[in-house]
Structure 1
Amino acid sequence: MPFIKNIETKMKMALWIAITSMVTAIIIVIIALSYTTKMITSERKHIYVLDKNIPLVAVNADMDNYKKVEYKTAVETFHQFFFTLPPDDKFIESQMQKAMYLVDASGVAQYNTLKEKGYFTNLIATNSVSTLVADSVLIDMNSGHFIYYGKQKIQRPSMITIRSLITEGYLIDQPVKTDSNPYGVLITNWKIIENKDLQNETQKLF
């Protein structure tokens, strides 16, 4: 009997060792699969860009950060086209054409509104130069909503006016990038929230 009990004890011990080993192996496999999945997901968020066409040298960039920079650049470029204008009707028309490639019909509506108010005609008639400097661009990557904050400077022969500019809109990725829209991003539902004078400085005429 003691001999049989000893055999049973050893068999139970062997069974527990086998079960424990199996459970441990399963846990190790799950951890390994989880880590591998995480690594693959992380790698898919990166792009590799050849540096100066040299295939041995690559720059690794995070896709999320890259996309946010691309969005910001698209927004800033559009506003530069739209608000940085000299008193030259042909140049203004050229700038507006470039801007319209980056925005939907809402941009055309804003352009027509300013045109009806005589904004562009006034720039030419008063020999004024409009320039724009971006303060910041806030972008919600989940919704694509952005808010642009900038300072507009309108320089006339007799006066310099500084205006605050705040606009908002949404960003939509386009399936194809073109020479006219190298960012592959379209601004939609764009509108001017604020564009008011902050200060006026009289210039001396000699």
Structure 2
Amino acid sequence: MFTHLKNIDTAFKHIKVFSIVLIGANIFITCFVCYINSKTVARAQQTVHILYNGKVLEALASDRKSNLPVELRDHIKTFHEDFFNLSPDDQAIQANISKALYLADESAKHQYDNLKESGYFNNLISANISQRIKVDSTSLEGNQFPYSFTCYATEKLIRASSTVTRKLVTRGEVRDMQQQTDNNPHGFLIQHWQVLTNRDTTIKH
């Protein structure tokens, strides 16, 4: 009788151990499946499908942080092109300056007001001068907002009789507005902007 009870007790212990192992295995498999599922969902969220010429192309979306220097430089470049690419037409000048002022704070508006008061834009119109800029390079400083930058560019004033080339250097900071709009697609704002150098280098007749 005691042997029979001992066998029952041993069998119960075996069943108990087997049950614990089975429950542990189920928990492990469930956790593993959840992990694989979360990784799959994350990869799927990074996949972007683009319709191009009637064909569906697959692209990977990148983290904004990894692309931040590119976005900052593009914002700075766009601002300078809008501010300095000017045609001898008052409406065209106003349109470009308006786009530029969405990308910067009152420091850019102050620079614009100074140029306007000095008659700079009127001189462009009266002399039929087209002004064009090419951003050569932009250096970024720091590792957090606001990022300091220095922009190096070549500016050309083109008229029928001559072309004046200027060296332009500006400096400022860029802060994150935490909001993107149609007028400011990157969601950055240039602040404390100032022109360090804007001098003639060559005159071609």
For normalisation by structure 1, the TM-score amounts to 0.68
Structure 1 segment 47-58 matched on structure 2, within 5 A: 47-54=48-55, 57-58=56-57
Contact 1:84 1:132 in 2 (8 A): no
Aligned-residue offset at 1:20:
0.9
The equivalent of 1:84 in structure 2 is 85
The equivalent of 1:22 in structure 2 is 23
Aligned-residue offset at 1:194:
5.1
Identify which range, 27-36 or 1-10, moves more after superposition: 1-10
Quick one: percent identity of the two aligned structures? Answer: 25
Aligned-residue offset at 1:142:
7.5
Relative to 1, partners in 2 of residues 1:167 and 1:134: Cα closer, same or farther, differing over 3 Å? farther
Q: Structure 1 CA distance, aligned partners of 2:50 and 2:58?
A: 5
Q: Which amino acid aligns with 2:9?
A: E
CA RMSD of aligned residues (A): 3.9
Q: Structure 1 CA distance, aligned partners of 2:196 and 2:103?
A: 21
Q: Structure 2 CA distance, aligned partners of 1:189 and 1:136?
A: 13
SS at match of 2:63: helix
**Does 2:167 match 1:162?**
yes
Aligned-residue offset at 1:32:
1.4
Structure 1 segment 19-168 matched on structure 2, within 5 A: 19-54=20-55, 57-65=56-64, 68=68, 72-86=73-87, 89-103=90-104, 105-116=106-117, 119-120=120-121, 127=129, 129-136=131-138, 138=140, 143=145, 145=147, 147=149, 149-155=151-157, 157=162, 160-168=165-173
**Does 2:201 match 1:201?**
yes
Q: Which amino acid aligns with 2:167?
A: I
Contact 1:154 1:160 in 2 (8 A): yes
The equivalent of 1:6 in structure 2 is 7
Aligned-residue offset at 1:15:
1.0
